[in-house]
Amino acid sequence: MKHVVVVLMVLLFVPMGFGQKIGDEKEKKFQEESAKGHDTTKVMGWNLAATTGLNLSQVAYENWASGGQNSLAWGLWFGGNALHRAEKTQWSNYLKLAYGQNKLQGQDSRKTDDEIYFESLLIYIVGTTVNPYASFTLRTQFAPGYKYSGDTARVQVSKFFDPGYMTQSVGVAYEPTSMLTLRLGAGMREVITDQFNQYADDPSTPEIEKTRVRGGFEAIADFRWPFAENMAYISRVETFFPFTSLGRGYARWDNTVAMKVNTVVTVNFNVQIISDPDVTPKTQLKEALSVGLSYSLL
């Protein structure tokens, strides 16, 4: 619970203060551009963007006195966004796909990355910075996941849409700047399983539940800071607190520092922190550093 509280404090207070400062700077720049007669309106209609990439890492040894294992790691990813702007609405649809494997000498290939994530967000514009919203999110994976012990022993713990996570919510969005959006709302969160029921089952009941549906409060912060010409810090904090058990809230903090070396070469450093007491009492941590190729499709 203490990890959830810390993340929620970061979500509600730190981005708001930093975002307000950025917002003031953006407003000043907006007024300056308007005074010069520049067009400061947003492009209406559909705005499409899509990027795909490949990350590779390979090491080979031959008569290497210090020892070592041959290895090959690869990862594919895709990110796409379809944004529609109208006079009173802003509808954003985002899709992220990622999959990667690592092959060590003498071992089978093992999964290193696997994610399917989709979000649809509709904002109805009634003011300049505070507006109502409705959203839908889906998160799952492509392939079976395993826990390993030793070089070969493994136990399967997940597969495609087992588990699958969905959330539907309505609330209020606050956007003090184009780089920061805060959302606070209420909705439903579903965990769907088939074979691996530990993600949805309630241990306090004799039955084995394959689906868990909870209503609760949602709080989300999206922040993107292009701190250099070719570098950006991207952060997303999402939390969900069930109405019936506020002390067992879910929190996910995703942080990425992205650098574009040139038109095709990219470097990304990502850290994910997850607190989900329904799955494990321990805080989950994932860190990844990747160098690869990217290509803009749209």
Helices (H), the chain: 2-12, 14-35
Q: What is the pLDDT of residues 127-148, one digit of tens each?
A: 889 999 999 999 999 999 999 9
Q: What is the pTM of this model?
A: 0.85
Q: What is the pLDDT of residues 281-294, one digit of tens each?
A: 999 999 999 999 99
The mean pLDDT value of the chain amounts to 87
Q: What is the pLDDT of residues 26-58, one digit of tens each?
A: 444 444 444 444 444 467 999 999 999 999 999
What's the pLDDT score for residue 212? 96
Domain ranges of the chain: 2-34+45-59+69-296
| Domain 2-34+45-59+69-296: assigned CATH number | 2.40.230
**CA–CA separation, 193 vs 145, rounded Å?**
14
What's the pLDDT score for residue 42? 66
User: Residue 134: which H helix or E strand, with range?
Assistant: strand 130-140
Q: What is the pLDDT of residues 77-95, one digit of tens each?
A: 999 999 999 999 999 999 9
**CA–CA separation, 178 vs 81, rounded Å?**
16
With beta carbons less than 8 A apart as the criterion, state whether 91 and 84 touch.
yes
